Amino acid sequence: MITPSVVLFVTAAIVPLVRGTAQKSVLVVGCLAALVSWKLLDFNSQWNVHIGEYTLVLLRVDPLSLVFALIFTLITFVGIVYALHNDHGLEHASTLVYAGASVGVVFAGDWVSLFVFWELMAVSSLFVVWHGGTERAARAGYRYILVHIFGGSLLFAGILMHLAGGGGREVTALIRSGSGDLAFWLILLGVAVNAAIPPLHAWLTDSYPEASVTGSVFLSAFTTKTAVYVLIRVFPGTEVLVYVGVTMAIYGVVLAVIENDIRRLLAYHILSQVGYMVAGVGLGTPLSLDGAAAHAYSHIVYKSLLFMGTGAVLYATGLRKLTDLGGIASRMKLVVLLYMVGAFSISGVPLFNGFISKSMIVSAAVALDRPGVELLLNLAGIGTFLHTGLKLPYFTFFGPDKGIEVRPLPMNMLVAMGVGALLCIIYGIFPSLLYNLLPYGAQYQPYTLDHVLSGTELLIGTGLAFWLLRDKLAGKPTISLDTDWFYRRPLAAVTARVIDGVRALGEVASTLRATLVDELWTFTQQPTSALDVGQDPHSEDYDPYRFHHPIGATVFWVAVYFVVVAVITLYN
């Protein structure tokens, strides 16, 4: 079966072997072929591999897997177009394997297959981070993989317990019951790491800003959204996810508002947007689950566009701090326009794709009479427009002109941003294009008078507040502390002390070993030296042979031995 994963893996294997125009052609054709292979799938498509008594279900097609596979494959194509100017074949290969593994997760029908693709995703995304090519990227990559090894270990332990306890091999919704509780929570925690649920989230904001201009686009799309897919598949209606999701939505917004690094700001806002999806999974109704899937779809489109916009700024200026930027709008007009499409989309402005998906989750909370959830999600929406739609573009592109040199952008970057912006607008104007793909069949109409007016009022109020308080909301040359501080600083110091202590013990043990070996060697060469206590071996009176027996005594006892042996032999 030719699946999008297989096509992307094959393309990844070929790309490092070619250069120049041939490499660009392979990348584009490979991604288009992956889209075609998705189109050819239907609900009868299946790919099973038998290993002994176990059957790996590498392809299970249903509406939920199809919608996630489509957006993963589509954004891979857009991201590759954005990266065509990059001639690093190994980086392209890493991103394609990362994308292929993500598609593999959503099509995996059994737990073992899901886990294998899950770990392949972690390893390949590590190389995407490392291709940032800086010392900060290298360090962030090491921290990134350590956290994901921890998360993968939790997931693996949960899967083993689930299977050992008689649970089914099929990846399906888990039910908490008796002895299955521990497996349930272990799998949930393992998925929570990839979903960047606080306090297990700092790997994301630590690593994504350190990847290359092109690599961060792919990172923003896959890991957290595969986790959302698994949450929808395995944990629908889990009440704790409602509270976790609302907390994420608010937490990400607060940290984003005070952030000075433009790519780190967007990374924090991934937490907030994933929070909407997690809350939707926790609510557990067809409308909220469809809303979670739709918002994941929309988020991938507009968040990749936003990362492409900030990546264009970094490429053109070499700067990434709000305090260093400003006054470049006139020289990056098209980038400003395309970025604002993504900003309006993520802020839930009507006629953009964020409006048609975010409002589904809020409406689901209203239908369940959860006013607290509705209020907090709306507050998170206000914060979104405040920092991503107003603060970031104002202080990046406008504001005081600081004489920043702006170099031209490759055309492929602008083309990719144009495609992303077009998708945001098309889905926003024609929401049925997305709604018809959703798996749970919920009926929803986003463009009611109430939805449009209430959303517009919030946006206008936020815009006025920003304009009045813009001087106070300007970026500050500070570093925001987060939960990663505990493993970047205290844990690193404790680890260093432990290593130093172990090294010191090793040196002591090595010294003792050397001393013991020397003493044993001396003793084996001259056993009688043990009797020389108090004797000076260098004095003239010292006799090293004074404990030796005369040769006659030795001959006597040898003769006695043979006589005894002969007598015993004769009498037996």
Q: Region 360-387: what's the mean pLDDT?
A: 92
Helix (H) or strand (E) holding 16: none
Specify the residue for token string 């309006």: 344
pLDDT by residue (tens digit) across 405-421?
A: 999 999 999 999 999 99
Specify the residue for token string 């013991």: 516
Do you know the residue count of the chain?
Answer: 572
pLDDT of residue 545: 61
pLDDT by residue (tens digit) across 274-322?
A: 999 999 999 999 999 999 999 999 999 999 999 999 999 999 999 999 9
% of the chain beyond a pLDDT of 70: 94
Euclidean distance between CA atoms 87 and 85, whole angstroms: 6
Tell me how crowded residue 451 is: count the other CB atoms within 10 A of its CB. 18
Q: Region 85-109: what's the mean pLDDT?
A: 95
pLDDT of residue 559: 85
Helix (H) or strand (E) holding 550: none
Q: Which of 96, 77, 78 is nearest to 14 (CA)?
A: 96
Euclidean distance between CA atoms 316 and 309, whole angstroms: 11
pLDDT of residue 78: 97
Flag whether pLDDT at 549 surpasses 80: no
- Alpha carbons within 13 angstroms on the beta-carbon side of residue 192 total 20
pLDDT of residue 572: 65
Flag whether pLDDT at 124 surpasses 60: yes
Q: Are 353 and 427 in contact (CB under 8 A)?
A: yes
Q: Are 366 and 374 in contact (CB under 8 A)?
A: yes
Flag whether pLDDT at 538 surpasses 80: no
Q: What pTM, to 2 d.p., does this model score?
A: 0.86
Confidence of residue 546 (pLDDT cuts 50, 70, 90): low
Euclidean distance between CA atoms 223 and 211, whole angstroms: 14
Q: Are 235 and 195 in contact (CB under 8 A)?
A: no
pLDDT of residue 539: 66
Q: Are 314 and 406 in contact (CB under 8 A)?
A: no
pLDDT of residue 435: 96
Q: Are 296 and 229 in contact (CB under 8 A)?
A: yes
Phi, psi angles (nearest 5°) of residue 306: -65, -40
The more confidently predicted of residues 368 and 483 is: 368
Confidence of residue 40 (pLDDT cuts 50, 70, 90): very high
The CA-atom distances, in angstroms, between 549 and each of 546, 560, 561 are 8, 16, 17
The more confidently predicted of residues 354 and 53 is: 354
Q: 524-559 b/e with 16+ CB inside 10 Å = b?
A: eeeeeeeeeeeeeeeeeeeeeeeeeeeeeeeeeeee
Q: Which of 278, 468, 280, 263 is nearest to 363 (CA)?
A: 280
pLDDT of residue 76: 97
The more confidently predicted of residues 55 and 522 is: 55
Residues with Cβ within 8 Å of 520's Cβ and at least 6 positions away in sequence, in order, are: none
pLDDT of residue 53: 79
Euclidean distance between CA atoms 86 and 23, whole angstroms: 10
